[in-house]
Structure 1
C-alpha cells in the first residue's frame, strides 16, 4: 500500500464520520457527530490558512490516505494550546503521608487531585486507524508525521506536549471510572456524558466536576482498577508514545481515567533526530527506510521512503518521490524509521 499523511480538507467529512462511528465511544476528539466533525474541519482549515507563524489557538487535522484507492485510512490531530476556550482540567494521582506518634506508624493515602497543570500545553490526539489498515506500520507513520509537522512549524507550538489516551470502556460502552467518580455527581451514564461532550465540548461538565481530593480507598475496586489504564486499542499507541519520549507523570483524564502522557517537544525522538536535506536525485530503491515530510501548512505531506545520503544530497525512491510530489532541488525533513 502506498500511503501519505496530508492536511485534512472539507471533503474529508464523510470518511472522517465513518471512522468516528468505529471508535466505540470515549474518543472525545473524534465524535460520531457530523456537525461536530464539520466544526473541527472548519477550525483546521482556519489554522492552515493562518499567516502568523506564532503560537495561537489552533487545531490541525491530518489524514492518512491510500494513494492507490483514494480511501482515507486514518486520521490524527494536533492542538496548539489547551485551555484557550475554558480551563483544561486533569486529575493527578498523588499520595498523602501522615504520621501518628500514638500508633507509631505512618499512614499513606492515595488520592486524585484536580489540577490545571497541563493548561497551555500543545496536544497530540485523535489518532485513529481504520481496522482494515492496522498493519504495515501505518500507525507509526501517522503518529510520527505529527512530530515532523510540529518541527516544520515549531513557532506555532508550546514547549510541552501532552497526549491523552482513552481509558477503559466496557463492552456496553460504559466507563468503570466514570461510574465511580463523575457519574455519582451528574446522575448520567458515561455514554450520555460522552455524547454531550462530543456535541458541546467537555468544558461544561469539567467545570462542574468535584474540586476536592478524591481518596482512592473510597472508590469501588472496579473504578480503582482502571485508573491510568489505557483502552485495549490504545496500548500500542502508549508504547509508541513511550518510545518517542513521553512519560506517565500520574495525570489522568477526568472522565474515564485514561493516562495523560507528557513530553518536552524538543526532546522528542523524532524532533531531535529529524534532519533537513535537499533531494538530489530520484533512484530505483534501496537505502534507509525513513519518514519524509515536505511542504508547509496545507501543503504538508509525509510518507515512507527509501533514502540514500550522498555528497550532493538525498536520493529518494521513485514511488515516494511521486507520492510526495518531489523533484531534485526540493527541501525535505527526514527521519529514520
Structure 2
C-alpha cells in the first residue's frame, strides 16, 4: 500500500473540488463550491498555527495521498467543537405516551424535537473516498486516522464526538424528509437549502424552523419511512462507527433525516487501544497490519504498516511504512490494531 493520510494544504483545493462534485449531493461538509472549500483550508491553516492548548472552534481537513503518484484520492474532516459560532441543531426522536381512561386505551406518539443537545461535541465528517479506491482498507484508514489525530491533540477536544450520516436521497437528488417537513417552512428545495447551509451555516434554521415538537404521524409516508436511516452508500460507514464505539442515540439531521451517531472520545476503540512506542528497527516482510501515526499539527501522518514485536517488547516496522512516515530508528510513533 502506498497511501498516507496527511493534513490538507492550500494547493489541494482543486482536487477537493473535483471530489466534491462526485458526492452526488447532500454532502454538507464537502460542497462543490471553491469559496467554501477554500475557507475550510484557511481554517485548517489557522488551527495548525495555534500553539497554545485548549478547545477552540477549529477545523482540520485531511487528505488521502498516494505517495507514489502524488494523487489525492480521499478526504475527511475533524471539527474540534460544534455549536460555538452558531447553534448546532438536531432533531431528537422521542415518544409521548398518553392514556385515555374513558377509551381504556394508551397512545404512544413518536415526536421530533428540535434540540441543541450536542453543542460542545467534536465532530468527524466530510469523509469521501474516490470510487476507484474503495479497497485495501482505505476507508478504515480515512476514518480511523481522525481518532489518532484527536488522541495526539487531546487537550483540543472535549469528551464527546459525533458523526452525521447522510440521509436517504432520491434519484432526483431530493430528500423525502426535507420535502415532508422542513421544506414546507423554507420555500426552497433540498438542494438549495443544503447548498446554502454548506456555504452560509444553518442560522436560517433558527430563524424559520418551528420550535415546537413535530408529531411524525403528521408527516408524509415517504418522510416517515426515512427518519434515522442512512443513505444506502453510508451503511458501511454506519457499521464502522458502531464498531468504533459510536451509538445511535436517537438524533437525526434536520435536513435529510439521517442518523447522528454519538461516542465518548476516550472510549472509542482506536483511541483506547492505541499505544505510543519507539521504533527499534525496520524489516522487509511480515508482521501484524496496524494503523500507525506520527507527528503533530501540520506534521501529522497516518498509514497502514506491518509491526513486529519481540519478547522484550522491541517494536519493528516494515521499511516501506517507516519511509512513508519519515520514521527513523529511535523515533516514536503511535500504533493501533486493525479493527
Q: TM-score range by the shorter chain?
A: over 0.9
Q: What is the aligned partner in structure 1 of residue 59 from structure 2?
A: 59
Do 2:91 and 2:115's aligned partners in 1 also have CA atoms closer than 8 Å? Answer: yes
Partners of 1:228 and 1:206 lie apart in 2 by: 21
In the TM superposition, what are the counterparts of 1:78-157 in structure 2 within 5 Å? 78-157=78-157
Q: What is the aligned partner in structure 1 of residue 3 from structure 2?
A: 3
Q: Does residue 327 of the first structure (1) align with residue 328 of the second (2)?
A: yes
Partners of 1:336 and 1:195 lie apart in 2 by: 38
The alignment partner of 1:135 has SS state of coil
In the TM superposition, what are the counterparts of 1:298-313 in structure 2 within 5 Å? 298-310=298-310, 311=312, 313=314
Partners of 1:245 and 1:117 lie apart in 2 by: 19
Give the Å deviation of 1:145. Answer: 0.6
Partners of 1:328 and 1:167 lie apart in 2 by: 46
More displaced, 44-53 or 33-42?
Answer: 44-53
Q: List structure 1 runs of 4+ shifted beyond 6 angstroms.
A: none
Do 1:57 and 1:84's aligned partners in 2 also have CA atoms closer than 8 Å? Answer: yes
TM-score by length of 2: 0.98
TM-score by length of 1: 0.98
Which whole-Å deviations, capped at 9, do the CAs of 1:289-335 have from their partners, x for residues lacking one? 00000000100000000001232631000110111111111111101
The total of aligned residue pairs comes to 337
Q: What is the aligned partner in structure 2 of residue 257 from structure 1?
A: 257
Which whole-Å deviations, capped at 9, do the CAs of 1:237-277 have from their partners, x for residues lacking one? 10000000000010000011000000000000001000010
Do 1:280 and 1:312's aligned partners in 2 also have CA atoms closer than 8 Å? Answer: no
Which whole-Å deviations, capped at 9, do the CAs of 1:132-153 have from their partners, x for residues lacking one? 1111110001100100001111
Do 2:86 and 2:202's aligned partners in 1 also have CA atoms closer than 8 Å? Answer: no
Which whole-Å deviations, capped at 9, do the CAs of 1:96-150 have from their partners, x for residues lacking one? 0001110112110001001110011000000000111111110001100100001
Change (3 A) 1:6 1:236: same
In the TM superposition, what are the counterparts of 1:1-337 in structure 2 within 5 Å? 1-310=1-310, 311=312, 313-337=314-338
Give the Å deviation of 1:165. Answer: 0.4
Give the Å deviation of 1:202. Answer: 2.3
Give the Å deviation of 1:228. Answer: 0.4
Which whole-Å deviations, capped at 9, do the CAs of 1:150-171 have from their partners, x for residues lacking one? 1111000110000000101111
More displaced, 225-234 or 204-213?
Answer: 204-213
**RMSD value over aligned CA atoms?**
0.9
Do 1:245 and 1:267's aligned partners in 2 also have CA atoms closer than 8 Å? Answer: yes
Which whole-Å deviations, capped at 9, do the CAs of 1:202-247 have from their partners, x for residues lacking one? 2323442111111010001000000000011111110000000000
Do 2:19 and 2:130's aligned partners in 1 also have CA atoms closer than 8 Å? Answer: yes
Partners of 2:330 and 2:17 lie apart in 1 by: 39
Partners of 2:120 and 2:234 lie apart in 1 by: 24
The alignment partner of 1:56 has SS state of coil
Partners of 1:235 and 1:212 lie apart in 2 by: 31
